[in-house]
Amino acid sequence: MTDFKALVVERAQGGVKPTWTRLSDADLMDGDVTVAVSHSTINYKDGLALTGRLPGMRLPLIPGIDLAGTVIQSTHPDFAEGDDVVLNGWGCGERHHGGYAERARVNGDWLIKRPTAFTAAEAMAIGTAGYTAMLAVLALEAHDVTPGKGPVLVTGAAGGVGSVAVALLAKLGYHVIAATGRLSESEYLTSLGAAEILDRAELASQPRPLGKERWAGAIDVAGSTTLANVLSMTQYAGAVAATGLAQGLDLPASVAPFILRGITLAGIDSVMAPKAMRIKAWDRLACDLDKAKLAAVSETRPIADVVALAPQILAGHVRGRTILEI
């Protein structure tokens, strides 16, 4: 039986406390594949888990909704010792021990084989945020939002989902409008391919049922008032992919954009997406994501830094993607 290092979040007076500790294989949860984890990353949801603010989280818990590593033991028919794998979501880091440990035992149905186009570190530079961005792009394409139809807006553009979405859309030929509350990041966003920078404040006013048609489609990470304004300014037959709730769960909108302009609001669920959709998204990432831009949006940190990063990502102070080396 092997000991390994893990970050465990437990209840403490006044909230929760994350602590680095040594565990053994007996401490892992049920699953038919054991992975030696080499890299993870931090997402908004990880920040919530590390600070005890994630609804429905199981404690004690090893956070980390993403992991990349190598199979060291498997009874699952699709995986064998030595396979390089990636996991995104499926409740890991929420209700099942996740990627902030040197080992993880999971259901093999949750894994995909890491595309050969990416190293383990690059796969975690993408992580759930980048994979979600690709799912959102696929949703826009499915609703016929093509580059020739007009601009596409990305909210929260300097964050994880937003940064990858801007890079993907730009490479695919879209005119990208990047909305951000951090105008100091304008140069960064234009380097990713944004054609215009929009101050987030323009999406913060009381939403009107319908506004001026400004974009053919959008990828939104905010929800709430921002999403309501985005919908009101989407042009006829456009589509909006909703991927997050950074501003709130509410949606103070009317049905006007849907019944008067034929707008589609496409919900993006990266956690429970079926395996075929995951593989499609990762295959497209291998084709459509500029690896030089991926490197530009990423920084590498030791896993020990993740506790300090949690409040920063919740406050919107983390740019792009953070690779965590385990």
The Cα–Cα gap between 127 and 322 comes to 9
pLDDT average per 10 residues of sequence, the chain (326 residues): 90 92 95 98 94 93 98 98 97 97 98 97 96 98 98 95 96 97 93 96 95 98 97 98 94 97 97 95 96 93 96 90 95
Domain boundaries, the chain: 3-114+291-325, 128-267
| Phi, then psi, of 19 in degrees rounded to 5 | -135, 135
Question: Residue 1: its pLDDT value, please?
Answer: 52
Pick the CATH number of 3-114+291-325 from 3.40.50.620, 3.40.50.2300, 2.60.40.10, 3.90.180.10: 3.90.180.10
pTM of the model: 0.93
Question: Residue 13: its pLDDT value, please?
Answer: 87
Task: Give the architecture-level CATH label for domain 128-267.
Answer: 3-Layer(aba) Sandwich (3.40)
Tokens coding 227: 């999403």
